[in-house]
Amino acid sequence: MTTSFLPPADLARHLDRHRLTGAVATPREANLRNIQGFLDGDQHQHMGVVRTRDWTYDEVFALMRDRVGISPDRSHVEGQDTISAELAVAALERYARVLGEVVAAGGRVLFATGHPAGLFPVYAQLARVARRAGAHVVRVPDGFAFEDGDVRQIEHVVMVEQYGGLRHTHFPGPMSLALEKLRRDGQNPPDLVVADHGLAGAAGSRGLRTIAIADCNDPGVFVAEAQGQVEVAVPLDDNLPPRLYDPVTAFVLRRAGLEDYV
């Protein structure tokens, strides 16, 4: 990766310019609907998160306002919604700090994504650098079944294959199956899981140290962060062309103290 490091203010401008933050493509209707879906335990929205207390709609809305930067206007019920670049950059600082700490200690790191068209290249680069820096990037014996496909690990990133392609998924099942596979094979659990969607929620709810990227329509991941199950949830649009995330990856590697291993 040759992308230059952008300092925080410049990174925030990049995020807004390319709509990773700011007026993102995710519609307001989806954000509001998914808050209710999470509370209702919808199969696509519960994200494997075990709630440690009862949450109300108003509480989750306030959480998304404060941690993500969605519009605070309760009368705004359709159209575009927003993500705060400043909140995103602050979360990336924390995300990088955790990653750097675990890598420096030679820890076991598991990478996984439900967004292969957007975030897979980000995690693949982080995994390559983490290995060079001395971390143990966890290998999951792959090819085991999940629904109409299987769980595969490509360039050290766990994903779901279905009908010959890589599948977008919110489900926690692939992470639960991967962790169970590690246990049966006598491997120690990861010291850190780097993931998103239900793969992050499932790991965090099992007590594993977890950092995640989550969109403004993924309230479950931010609830998991508020409950202390996910250590860091970074608010970003999670499904844009991978090249737009290159400055994000460069920022994380610099702040994690890993840029010399790129």
Check residue 141 and give its pLDDT. Answer: 85
Q: Are 167 and 116 in contact (CB under 8 A)?
A: yes
Interval 35-63 mean pLDDT? 97
| Dihedral of alpha carbons 189, 193, 199, 200, sign | positive
Check residue 143 and give its pLDDT. Answer: 81
Supply the range of the domain harboring residue 104: 1-261
pTM (two decimals) = 0.97
Interval 146-167 mean pLDDT? 94
Check residue 5 and give its pLDDT. Answer: 95
The total of other beta-carbon atoms located within 10 Å of residue 30's CB is 14
Q: Do the bridges between strand 210-214 and strand 192-196 make them parallel or antiparallel, or are there none, so unpaired?
A: parallel
Check residue 2 and give its pLDDT. Answer: 61
207-249 pLDDT, tens per residue? 999 999 999 999 999 999 999 999 999 999 999 999 999 999 9
- Total tally of structural domains belonging to the chain: 1
**Exposed/middle/buried for residue 260 (C-beta within 10 Å: 0-12, 13-18, 19+):** exposed
Interval 77-99 mean pLDDT? 98
pLDDT over threshold 60, residue 202: yes
SS3 174: helix
Interval 36-55 mean pLDDT? 96
Check residue 203 and give its pLDDT. Answer: 98
Q: What is the mean pLDDT of the chain?
A: 96
